[in-house]
Amino acid sequence: MLVSQILKTKGEAVFTASPHETLQGAAAMLHSRRVGAMVVTEDDKVVGILSERDIVRSVAQDGAQSLNRPISSIMSRDVVFADPKETIDVLLERMTDRRIRHLPVLRDGRLVGIISIGDLVKSKIAEAEAEAQHLKAYIAAG
C-alpha cells in the first residue's frame, strides 16, 4: 500500500504551528487536537517538527519555565519526509531506523499530509486481515 492511499482514507489535514508560538501554546494545541506532533511552518515552508516527546524533554531538563520558550528553541529541524508514492514498508523501516513517529508528506515540495507510525501499523493490520479473509475464502471454496 502507498502513502497516498492512507492519506485518501485518513485525510490530508495537517496541524501546523509557527516557530514563534510558545511551547505552552503548542502543548495546548497538541492536546486539543489529540495529536502527537505538529509540523512547524513559516511562509508555507516546513522548518521543523514538534512532538509531545520534545516538550516533555524540555520540561524535564529546564522545568516549567521552558514552556514560555518558542517552538523554534526545541523543534527538530532535520525533518525527515515521506513521498505519497512510497510504500508502507519503506516508511516503517525509515521510522524505525531513525526512531521517529511522524513523517510529513510532501508532494512537489508542498505539504500534503502527515503519517504516523500508528497509521502505518493500522494499515498493515488491515492488509493482513484482508489477506487472511481471502485465504479463508479460497480454502472454503476448495
* Contact of 95 with 120, CB cutoff 8 Å: yes
How, if at all, do strands 110-116 and 102-107 pair?
A: antiparallel
The domains of the chain are located at 3-141
Using CA atoms, how far apart are residues 46 and 72, in angstroms rounded to an integer? Answer: 12
Using CA atoms, how far apart are residues 43 and 64, in angstroms rounded to an integer? Answer: 30
Q: What is the 3-state secondary structure (H, E, C) of 2-53?
A: EHHHHHHHHCCCCCEECCCCEHHHHHHHHHHHCCCEEEEEECCEEEEEEEHH
Q: Which three cell numbers stand for residue 105?
A: 508528506
Q: For residue range 72-121, what is the model confidence (pLDDT) as tens digits?
A: 999 999 999 999 999 999 999 999 999 999 999 999 989 999 999 999 99
Residues with Cβ within 8 Å of 26's Cβ and at least 6 positions away in sequence, in order, are: 17, 38, 50, 55, 71
Q: Is the domain defined by 3-141 classed in CATH 3.10.580.10?
A: yes
Q: For residue range 48-59, what is the model confidence (pLDDT) as tens digits?
A: 999 999 999 999
- 142 has pLDDT over 80: no
